[in-house]
Amino acid sequence: MIFDLSKFLTEGLIDSVNNGLIPSDLATVYAGNYLVKSLITQTQVTQVSDAIVAYKAAQAEATAKASKEAQEVAKQADSSLAAQTEAAVDHSSEH
């Protein structure tokens, strides 16, 4: 079995970005440096780039989902507070 350095570097960059170990911009710089030194091919740089785009899209989607969920929780809390306030006002006006 022969060790494939270019595959190792490519997969390492992709895994590192996907696991949040290095920022995507740094992975891009590393990929460029590896390409210039002929350690990886242009095709592998494209693989890294595609993985970064997919990672950023997944992060944006997760952020949007979390924001939407937070807005729903805030809306429910506001509704609950309004109902409690209304009930307290109604209760105090009865006395």
Q: Averaged over 68-90, what is the pLDDT?
A: 73
pTM equals 0.69
User: Angle at Cα 13 formed by Cα 7 and Cα 18, nearest 5°?
Assistant: 125
Average pLDDT, the chain: 88
DSSP state letter for 3: -
pLDDT beyond 70 at 9: yes
| Residue at 86: amino acid letter | E
Are residues 3 and 37 in contact, defined by beta-carbon separation less than 8 angstroms? no
Whole-number percent of the chain with pLDDT over 70: 87
Distances in whole angstroms, Cα of residue 10 to Cα of each of 6, 19, 23, 48? 6, 14, 15, 7
